[in-house]
Amino acid sequence: MSVPTQRATRHDVCPLDDLPVGEGRAYVVGGEQVALFRRRSGKVSAVQATCPHAGGPLADGQIDERVVVCPLHQNAFDLDTGESTTGQPPIAVHPCSVDPDGRVTVEL
């Protein structure tokens, strides 16, 4: 017997202009808290909004082109893989894109 698989759902979240370059913002997407980041390269990343260590708000963390650093205890997470560079459990990473109209969408 096969197990049914859940399909990812694409959610329209915000205009790209709502994400300042080099910063993050938190959104509720499909009932989940998601942190969106607009990297200096222009790439947009979507990850879970809270740090697994102590629930820190990752959208308030500092980013570079590769990682976000939690503002509470400086744990760092790769924005592409979710892997911690500081020994914490990984965070969820969600596929996201910017459509031709400049809208950011996230898949959950």
Model confidence pLDDT, tens digit, residues 69-105: 999 999 999 999 999 999 999 999 999 999 999 999 9
pTM of the entire structure? 0.91
| CB-based burial label for 54 (10 Å; 0-12, 13-18, 19+) | exposed
pLDDT recorded at residue 3: 54
- Are 76 and 62 within 8 A, CB to CB? no
| Closest C-alpha to 75, from 97, 93, 91 | 91
Domains along the chain?
17-107 (2.102.10.10)
